[in-house]
Amino acid sequence: MKKIDVGKKILSENEKYAFENILFLTERKKLCLNIISSPGSGKTTILARTINELKDKIKIGVIEGDIQTDIDAERIRATKAPVIQINTEGACHLSAAQISAALKELPVDDLDLIFIENVGNLVCPSAFDLGESGKIVVLSVAEGDDKPAKYPAIFAKSKVMLINKIDLLDGGHVDFDIDRAKADARRLNKEIKIFPISAKTGEGMANWYDWLISSVNKNIF
């Protein structure tokens, strides 16, 4: 019982900041996407390629969450997009309070879209709303097709599922039944949009870009 109460308190404090962030973003008509995945699914590679290839169409800023290091922020900085680094110093997820502070440092008025790259973790970040417009879950084919069934919370809550590293499917380098992964995700979430992509080769990225541009133009997902 004690443990559950503690969880509720932390969530409520987080929810207060999340609500502030929603107001901040909605007033300014800015879209904000919270990218969640296991470590090494390719979040940063997806973001860097997306920023570079949409440079002339959408102005993108990034909030980078990492336990330590600014390796990912450096990769985003190379695209010239504005980026704010948050180091959680051991914590397994970003909090809405951290995002609130980062939003004040980003040149939000000059941006169309803000990506939050969460700490690499398929479990904990799903429980902490950041006030984002939507969550994006990334699953690499190298992780296996059973992940939506085994880690259902984030697949149930995401607007989009990016199935990344599909270049590894050619030649059968990994065993991954893409239909099983899609069906399991849709069982959890009828509305989820699914884009198989390779951020390395560029395959499938056009569908993701179309969805992003259309969402920014409509200011809604």
Q: Which of 52, 69, 201, 219 binds its own copies (CB under 8 A)?
A: 69
Buried b (16+ CB within 10 A) or exposed e, 187-218: ebbeebbbbbbbbeeeebbeebbeebeebbee
Check: CB of residue 180 under 8 Å from CB of residue 150.
no
By the rule CB under 8 A, 136 interacts with its own copies: no
Q: Which of 106, 152, 156, 182 binds its own copies (CB under 8 A)?
A: 152
Task: Kindly tell me which of 132 and 184 has the beta carbon lying closer to its own copies.
Answer: 184
By the rule CB under 8 A, 100 interacts with its own copies: no
* Calpha distance 170→148 (Å, rounded): 22
By the rule CB under 8 A, 142 interacts with its own copies: yes
By the rule CB under 8 A, 188 interacts with its own copies: no
By the rule CB under 8 A, 150 interacts with its own copies: yes
Q: From 15-23, 53-61, 103-111, 160-168, give the range in contact with its own copies by CB under 8 A.
A: 160-168
Q: What are phi and psi of 83, to 5 degrees?
A: -140, 140
Q: Which of 11, 15, 20, 67 binds its own copies (CB under 8 A)?
A: 67
Task: Kindly tell me which of 49 and 165 has the beta carbon lying closer to its own copies.
Answer: 165
By the rule CB under 8 A, 119 interacts with its own copies: yes
* Calpha distance 38→137 (Å, rounded): 9
Residue 172, Ramachandran bin (φ over 0: left; ψ between -120 and 50: alpha; else beta): left
